[in-house]
Structures are given as C-alpha cells and as structure tokens.
Structure 1
Amino acid sequence: MDYSSTYRLAQDIRDSEEYKTYHELKESVMAEETTAALIREYRKLQMTIQMSAMSGNAAGEEDVQRFSGISNLLFSKPEVSSFLLSEMRLQQMLADIFRIVTEAANLEINFPGIEG
C-alpha cells in the first residue's frame, strides 16, 4: 500500500482550523501550571466517569461532584473554555475521519455505549 494519501491527510489535519486553534490555545492555557493541573484532573475524572458509564456502573458521587466543580471552574474562564471546546471540535473531526476510514474498509468497530 502507498501511504502518500495518509501523509496528505495528516498534513490536511495539521492545516485545519480545528488543529491550529486547538494548538494555539493549548500553548497559552497550559503555560499556567495551576490551570494545566486542573485540566489534567478534569480529563482524569472525565475518563473515570465515562468508563463507569460504559461498563454500566454508576460513577462515584465524590468523582461526579469533583468533576462538576472543576468543570464549572474551568469553563468560567473564557480562554480555558475556548480551549476545551476547541479540543472537542478537533476530537469530533478525528472521530469523523476514523468513521469514514473504517466504513471504507467495511470494518465494523463497536464501542460500548456508542450506537453505530
């Protein structure tokens, strides 16, 4: 297989507005160590809660409350909110690309809790 189209896709991703916006905001937001630590904790709790939901279990009340508090704090800062939203847009773009590629390969990939 010739991977040249894959490398073009990688470059197209790097040239996309979603990618550029995310990386510009990331550099700025993550430069502040307290904010960076809160974002790392936010992501950790988000993953814990999502994994609980995917396995059919309720997330721990303490984790949910902590996640809610950190979310409110992070999203109250305009630049951090913009960064997190840009991250979601980039993730959605990559999920769309993954879906297109797996459909082209006629490959059925199922993730728990996600309808295909």
Structure 2
Amino acid sequence: MYVYDRANALAQDIKESSEFKEYKALKDEVMADATNKDLIRQYKTLQFEAQAALMTGGKPSDDTMDKLKKLGEVLALNQKVTEFFAAEYKFQTIISDVYKIIGDACELDTGIFDK
C-alpha cells in the first residue's frame, strides 16, 4: 500500500499546485460561457482528428487543417481562452514530466515523451 499512499500524496500535491489551481480557475471561467465551451470542444476535436491522422501515418485533410486554423484564430481573440490554453499546456507538461519520471524509474519505454 505504500506505493498507493505515495501516489495519493502526489495527487494531492498536484491538486494544491499553483499550476493546477490556475488551470482549474481558468477552465471553470472559460467553460462557464456556452460559446467558449462549444468552440473549445470543436477545436480540441479537430486537433484530435489531425493528430490521429498523423499517428496512423496519414496526413490531416486540408479541410481539417483549415478549420483548425480558422477556429484557432477566433479563439486567440479571447484573452481568457488564450490564458486557459497556456495554463492547460503548462499543467499538461507537468503531468507528462511526472509520467516520464515514473516511466524512467520503471524502465518503461516513454520515448514518445522525449523532447
């Protein structure tokens, strides 16, 4: 149970971190607006489609990339959404780094996270 205790302590530390608190506050704020929520959902769906195409050896369609670019430009006009995306990226980087640290300690192949 020691490992689980440490994992729970780490989870609590992450939850109390300034990076998580900033991410959570901005997420709550931007997602409270139905338009923001819908546009962000559409943007992330398009991102996923583009990444899936790349991961399967293909290329995202020009239509997907065009929609992604235009939607990104619209979202960039909203300062709070821009701050949210920056905070989300910062927080996701921390989570990725933690996963890499654990993976390296366990000799897991985490090459996909190499920078």
Q: TM-score range by the shorter chain?
A: over 0.9
Mapped to 2, the partners of 1:34 and 1:61 lie a distance apart of: 25
* Alpha carbons 2:75, 2:82 under 8 Å: kept: yes
Q: Residue 65 of structure 1 aligns with which residue?
A: 66
Amino acid at match of 1:33: A
When the two structures are superposed, what TM-score results if normalisation uses the length of structure 2? 0.92
Mapped to 2, the partners of 1:110 and 1:14 lie a distance apart of: 27
Mapped to 2, the partners of 1:75 and 1:97 lie a distance apart of: 29
Instruction: Provide structure 1 residue ranges, at least 5 long, that are not aligned to the other structure.
Output: none
Aligned structure 1 segments of 4 or more residues deviating by more than 6 angstroms:
none
Mapped to 2, the partners of 1:55 and 1:115 lie a distance apart of: 19
% identical equivalent positions: 31
Matched, 1:22 2:20: no
* Alpha carbons 2:30, 2:80 under 8 Å: kept: yes
Matched, 1:95 2:96: yes
Mapped to 1, the partners of 2:88 and 2:30 lie a distance apart of: 12
Instruction: Provide structure 2 residue ranges, at least 5 long, that are not aligned to the other structure.
Output: none
Stretch of structure 1 that moved more, 51-60 or 88-97: 51-60
Structure 1 residue 109, shift from structure 2 partner: 3.7
Equivalent residue pairs, number? 114
What is the Cα-based RMSD across aligned positions, in Å? 1.4
Structure 1 residue 110, shift from structure 2 partner: 4.7
Q: What secondary structure sits across from 1:57 in the alignment? A: coil
Structure 1 residue 20, shift from structure 2 partner: 0.3
When the two structures are superposed, what TM-score results if normalisation uses the length of structure 1? 0.92
Q: 1:92 to 1:115 in 2, by over 3 A?
A: closer
Higher helix share: 2
Structure 1 residue 58, shift from structure 2 partner: 1.1
Mapped to 2, the partners of 1:84 and 1:36 lie a distance apart of: 12
